[in-house]
Amino acid sequence: MLSEGVHSLVDSGNEVLLLYGQKRAAKPPDAAHPVGYGRELYFWCFVVAMMIFALGAGISIYEGVIHILDPAPITRPGITFIVFGLAFVFESISLWFAWRPFRKTKGRHGIWEAVRRSKDPTSFTVFLEGSAA
């Protein structure tokens, strides 16, 4: 359950970072950045990817190893199923909201072709992370 909680926390943080990256990328050019800030979006997507793998996967692996080495009996399995059920519902809703804008940019291309051609990393980052979750 701790792993699922960390995943939810990392996922929420990722969305905030992607929104921040979109806001920074929309800034107009200035003296320090004569061609604008558009590439910052790619940086923030990279940070999000690192958070997903480093924090999310790292804590999950750590918790898995700890519980294999020192197993404890399940005392209230109903709560576990409720948490996983709610996580499934929330992740499905998140995936639906990520799919809608991605579908518009995807056009007639397949999913992988659209990801490869896309100039907006936030749309496919959120979609791919949501589908993996």
Q: Which residue did the predictor score with more confidence, 30 or 116?
A: 30
Q: Chain-wide mean pLDDT for the chain?
A: 80
Q: How far is CA 121 from CA 8, 25, 41, 43, 93, in A?
A: 21, 12, 7, 10, 20
pLDDT at 5 over 80: no
Angle CA 9–11–14, to nearest 5: 110
The answer to pTM > 0.75 is no
pLDDT at 133 over 70: no
Please say whether the beta carbons of 11 and 129 come within 8 A: yes
**CA 39, 44, 88, 90 torsion: positive or negative?**
negative
pLDDT at 98 over 70: yes
Q: What is the DSSP letter of 29?
A: P
pLDDT band per the 50, 70, 90 thresholds, residue 112: confident
pLDDT band per the 50, 70, 90 thresholds, residue 127: confident
Per the document, the length of the chain is 133
pLDDT at 1: 66
Dist CA 84 CA 17 (whole Å): 25
- Residue 34 gets the label, from left (phi > 0), alpha (psi -120 to 50) or beta, of alpha
43-74 in b/e burial notation, b at 16+ Cβ within 10 A?
ebbebbeeebeebbeebeeeeeeeeeeeeeee
Percent residues over pLDDT 70 in the chain? 92
Dist CA 120 CA 104 (whole Å): 12
